[in-house]
Structures are given as C-alpha cells and as structure tokens.
Structure 1
Amino acid sequence: MSDVSWVLLLLAFLLLDLVGCAKGVEIRELRVPPVALAGDEVRLVCDYEAEGGAPLYSLKWFKDGDEFYSFQPGRTSPPPDTRCSHYYTIPVDGVTVDCWVSSEREVVLKGVTVSTSGLYQCEVIGEHPTFRRKVQQKRLRVFSEPLRRPEIVGARTTYDPGSRLALNCTSLNTQYRPALSWTIAGKPVPEMSLRNYPGEVTLGLHLHLSPEVFRGGVVEVACTASLALHTASTTLALPNTHALKAQGYSYNAGVQKASCFVSGAIVVLFLLLPAHIY
C-alpha cells in the first residue's frame, strides 16, 4: 500500500473516531471515597460503558502508578491467585483486595491502613481494532485516629419554653475535621439556627425553645460528628424548670403523707391500749 493510501486510511479512522463511530469503552463513573479510617472496608467503583457494542479488552486499577488489579475477559490462562477467578491481583503496599466480592466494576479493599492512602486510577481499554484507552483517577486518604464523640458546652441547669438555647459543639479529633450536625427532639435543626466559626471545628446551636420540643419534662439535643461511614454522637437531656418543681412537689407530698400515716397509727394504737397501762 502506498504512502498516500496509508495517509487516507489514517485520516478516515480519525474522522470516524471524531464523529463517535469508532467503537470503544468510556468510564461513566469513578467512585473512590476521599477519606476512610484504618480498618475500614473501601469500595472502588469503575463503571464503564461499551460504545457501539465494542467489548472490553481489559480493566486495570493502579495505586500511585503501580498496578494491583487486572481484569481481562478474553484471558485463558488461570490467574496466579485462584481465589480471584478471572482477576489478577498484584502485591502493592497497603492494598489488600477481597477477591470474594470484587468484580470487573467494583474492587473491595479490606483492612485499609494509612499506607493505603494514595492516588487510585482506573484504566479501561476497548477491544480490537481500536484499543481506545480511557483513564480516570481520584485520591484516597486513610486516617489512623478513630472518630471521637464531640464535646457540648454552654448548657444551663434548667430551661423553660420560650427561653433561648445557646450551645456549642466541638470536635475533639486532631487528624481531620469531621462534619458536625445538630438534632433537637430527634429532628434536624434548621440551618438558620446554626452558627459556624471560621477556623474552628465548632458548630453552634442558637434558638428559642418551643413547648413542643419538651418531652417528659426534658428537651433532648444531640450533636453528631460524621466522617465517611462513621458517626459519633453526644446527647444532652435538658430539664424543664416547671417539670423539676412538679417532681419535687410530688416527692415532698409523698413524704408528708407517709409521715401523717405513721402519726395516725400511733394515736390509734394508744387509744386501743388497756386503761390500766396508762
């Protein structure tokens, strides 16, 4: 074939590729969690789509440029790790693939550690004749510090309906900044009642207490710290002033009633005694 023919063929192929007629595969979605805690199970998803019915030639995962997972539908030789069926796993520091649940679209990493942190890349290549290659990558960071319960400060001894509630919730974690959220009487707090403090991992709660939030004489507020799939909460039960007084009155009335009963019993016993005794 002449040089001119090769040039024309190449131009034709490029034109088909530009208008989308060339077959290949595309990565529709890449899911890599941005953060995780040591010991977590992490799921990496590379959802691809074949264009024009083009089959997949291979799918590979890389961590910091090192390949650790490979799937090739047309592969005939058995993989080194027979547990992985058609999937090859290659040892990489910090990466432990759970072959029992992984597939060509989802790779599960178990028992992640700080060394699991890195840049994860999914590569898909379409079948012959195009062998079009598509790549996407995202970063994962693993922390060793467990998520701690946040601290709530600013609570008073008692509250009345209509009184103002002003509390601050602060994360006690030092390696990372978890998301903080408030609930009152089990319901999320409106955005207008929250206060953010620049440069601090603190979320304030400022609102007037309505009678509806008091249940059984107390109003329950909770602050929750969240990171990835983890949550840790601190809950306070704030008593109502009138409820405490009512409880105190009932208690005192009971004591007084018992005292009167004992006195009456003594009088009756005295009257029933024989006259010669006294």
Structure 2
Amino acid sequence: MNFIAIWLLIRILIGRFTTLTGADLKWVRVSVPQYRIPGDMALLQCDYNLGNDNLYAVKWYKDNEEFFKFLPKARPEASSYSVEGIHVDMKSSNRTTVVLYSLNFKSSGLYRCEVSAEAPSFASAQGEARMEIVYLPKEDPQISGVEREYQIGEMVNLNCTSGKSHPASILHWYVNEQQVLAPGTIIHYPPIQHRHGLSSSILGLRFVLTPKHFVGGSMKIKCIAVLSPVLWMGDKESVVQSLPIKQMREALLLVRSSAPPPPQIHSRLLAVTIIGLIVLYHS
C-alpha cells in the first residue's frame, strides 16, 4: 500500500477529510459529535490555520446545504439559513464554533466546514464529519412463542422483537452460546414501523428439539439485539424445567418466565446490546 493510500485510509478512519487549494491556508480540522440523541445539543468545531492569509469566510453545510456563514467584515458577522433538522444557537456560534440545539432524526448527516481566505491567495480548505441521531430502546428484546410444554422431537418456534429504536436494532439468535446461522432456521421479518421514525426488528427461530441440544442437562436460547453506538444491556430469562409426566416417554418442558429490572443506560460506549434469554433444562 503506497503512502497516499495509507494517508486516505487514516483520514477516513478518523472521520475527517480536508481539501486544500492555494498556498497559505494550511489546514482545516473538523470536530463533530459522532452520535447524539433527539433533543440534545451538538458542538461543531472548525479549527484552521490561515498561515499568512486573512479570513474571508467560514461556511457550514449539512449534506451540501449551507446552514451557517461567518464573514468577519459583514454586519452581522454570522448568519444562518433554514435547513431541515438544523437549529443554530446564534449567540453561541462564531468563526470556529457552531452550536446546534433541539436535534432530531433529520439532523443526521454529513457536516462540512469550508474556510476561505481573502485576496490575493483566495485559498480555500474544507473538512467534514458525519453525525448520527439515535434513539436508544427503553425495553429489552422480547421472546415470544414460548410454549408451556415441549417434547423432544417437537418444533421450537420463537420470535424475538427488539424495543423501539432508531435506527432499527440488528437481532441475532444463539443456542448454547453458538450463533444460529443455518438456512431455514432463521426467519427474517420486515421491521415494525412506529411513530416518530422509530422501528422494531423481528427475527424468528425455528428448529426441531433433539437430545443433542441439551449440554449438561440444559439448553440456552438467547436473542441479542445490537444498535450502535451506545451500550444498553438488559435481560429476560425463561426457565424450562423437566417434570416427571406419567405415560410419556419423553419429559415435557414447563416454561416459567421472569424479568429482572433493566440496568442503566451507558451512553458513552460503542454499541447497544440487549439480551433475551431462555434456559431449557432436561433430565
């Protein structure tokens, strides 16, 4: 990999890209929060090195639509433009900083800061970074379709539904800590659409119950929902215990459910993980 390719990869990984024209304007560095939740504020930072140039203008764009401009020789120096999802706190915004408030899902997008110098160089430079507005689920994923009794050889037919979120959570099934990937075992359903742009994911699990599913006398079925960028973990456990049933060759499995209180939301981690758990015991 040559030097240019390595440099481009590094810039992409840190979510920044700078374009330069002219000789004196050295660089532009953009800092934008990667994730925010609805109703939050966001501080957009645009740092730059003019070298020997004088500043002509600083302009901010969201998805190529201009929403803020700072011209030091204009009166007033700062002005804003109507763009969907953008509310600028003009009192707190200046030549290097823009403050957004009342963020919503339409605030998600690619933010670009463009800096230009006065004559004679007319140099310009820009940097960009993306911000996503996410809504964290308030509920654990729910496992439905659990029968009161199971017999070896019967079909296990379950659905896992994630809590309302934006974007929709990604669901995974695990049996005895092994992710289920076999074709025909995982059933994909379209997400449920809710108000305010929220959605819930649904993923089905279908398989025939056999003795080999029981490791050490038990089987664990787990549904995990993942949502970037923050981590929230809760769990729901259903215990299926074997009972002696007369005139039956195979023990039936009785389902008993319990749901512990969900832990707190940790808003600074890197992924959202929600766990729904079923434990099957067999003797």
Same fold, TM-score > 0.5, yes or no: no
Normalised by the length of structure 1, the TM-score is 0.44
TM-score, structure 2 as length reference: 0.44
Higher Cα Rg, which structure = 1
Greater helix proportion: 1
Higher share of residues assigned strand: 2
